[in-house]
Amino acid sequence: MSLSSHLQELKKKHHMLSGQVEEAQRSPGIDDLRVAELKKQKLRLKEEIARLETQAVH
């Protein structure tokens, strides 16, 4: 898998997690721990994307 396709896949996952977080926050019965875990996953993906984009530039 090339770096650009890997980045695209990570961005797609990040976008999907954004939707899941928004949906979870709107649902009255969702556990706060579940929302926090989704946000952590989203942040890890964002950090990985930033790291790979930095590597691609250098």
Q: Which residues have CB under 8 Å from 1's CB, separation 6+?
A: 9
The Cα–Cα gap between 40 and 54 comes to 21
Residue with tokens 């929302």: 35
pTM of the model: 0.85
Q: Could you give the count of Cα atoms lying within 13 Å of 27 in the half-sphere of its Cβ?
A: 12
Look up residue 23 and give its two tokens.
């949906």
Residue (of 22, 46, 44) closest to 35 by Cα position = 22
The Cα–Cα gap between 12 and 35 comes to 19
pLDDT digits (tens), the chain, 58 positions: 788 899 999 999 999 999 999 998 898 888 899 999 999 999 999 999 999 999 888 7
